[in-house]
Chain A
Amino acid sequence: MYLYLPVALTSINILIPVGLGLAVGLLSGLFGVGGGFLLTPLLIMFGIPSTVAAATDSNQIVAASTSGTYAHWKVGNVDFKMGLYLLVGGFVGGIIGVQAIKLLHAMGNADFVIKITYILMLGIVGVYMFIESLQSMRKKKNNTEEANEEKDSAIGRFLKSLPLQTRFEKSGITHSVFVPIVLGAFVGVLAAIMGVGGGFLMVPIMVYMLRMPMHVVVGTSLFQILFTCIEVTFLQAYTNHSVDFILAVLLLLGSTVGAQIGAAFGKKLKAEQLKILLATIVLAVTIKIVFEITLTPSLLLSQVGGH
Chain B
Amino acid sequence: MQNNFKLRIADCGLAVVTAFVILTTFCIARPASAMLTAKANHDHITIDFFYHGSTVSVRGEADPNTDLIIKITSPEGHQVLKQKGKVAGMLWMNVGQLKFENTPNFYELYSTKKLEDILSREEQDKYVIGYPALERHVEISPLANEQEKTRWFDEFVKFKENSNVYSASSGKITTTHTDNGRQQYFILTEWPYQAQPGDYLVTVYAVKDNKVVEQATSNVKVEQIGVVKSLAGLAKDAPAIYGFLSIGVALGAGFGVSMVFKKGGGSH
Contact = CB atoms under 8 A, between A and B. Distances in A.
Given A11-B193, A115-B93, A234 B81 contact: no
B97 A7 contact: no
A71 to B, nearest CB: 6
Contacts, number: 182
Nearest to A115: B93
Given A66-B251, A299-B159, A237 B232 contact: no
Contacts of A46: none
Given A11-B51, A62-B254, A245 B231 contact: yes
Contact of A246 (B80, B94, B155, B231): B231
Given A234-B244, A256-B257, A4 B50 contact: yes
A303 interface: yes
A101 interface: no
Nearest to A7: B235
A260 B235 CA distance: 30
A70 B159 CA distance: 44
Interface string B226-268: 0011011001100110111111011101111110011001011
Given A7-B231, A11-B51, A304-B97, A241 B239 contact: yes
Contact of A302 (B159, B239, B243, B253): B159
A9 B92 contact: no
A297 interface: yes
A7 B242 CA distance: 12
B235 A252 contact: no
Nearest to A240: B239
A172 B53 CA distance: 57
A252 B251 CA distance: 10
B257 A300 contact: no
Residue from A6, A10, A67 having most chain B Cβ neighbours under 10 A = A6
Contacts of B48: 4
A159 B235 CA distance: 47
Contacts of B197: 9
Contact of A65 (B80, B95, B254): B254
A158 interface: no
B91 interface: yes
Interface in A180-221: none
Contacts of B218: none
A241 B244 CA distance: 13
A260 B232 CA distance: 31
A74 interface: yes
Nearest to B158: A299
Contact of B81 (A233, A263, A302): A302
A241 B245 contact: no
A10 B194 contact: yes
Contact of B51 (A4, A237, A260): A4
A6 B235 contact: yes
Contacts of B1: none
Interface in A62-115: 62-67, 70-71, 74-75, 108, 111-112, 115
Nearest to B81: A301
A60 B250 contact: yes
Contacts of A259: 254, 257
25 contacts: A4-B50, A6-B229, A9-B194, A47-B163, A62-B247, A62-B251, A62-B254, A66-B253, A71-B268, A74-B268, A111-B94, A233-B243, A233-B246, A239-B239, A243-B235, A248-B246, A252-B250, A252-B253, A257-B257, A259-B254, A259-B257, A264-B265, A294-B90, A294-B92, A301-B155
Interface of B: 47-53, 80-85, 87, 90-98, 152, 155-156, 158-159, 162-163, 193-194, 196-197, 224, 228-229, 231-232, 235-236, 239-240, 242-247, 249-251, 253-258, 261-262, 265, 267-268
Complex A-B, nearest 10 residue pairs according to Cβ-Cβ distance, in ascending order: A66-B254, A237-B243, A62-B250, A256-B257, A63-B250, A70-B258, A6-B232, A2-B52, A11-B193, A111-B94
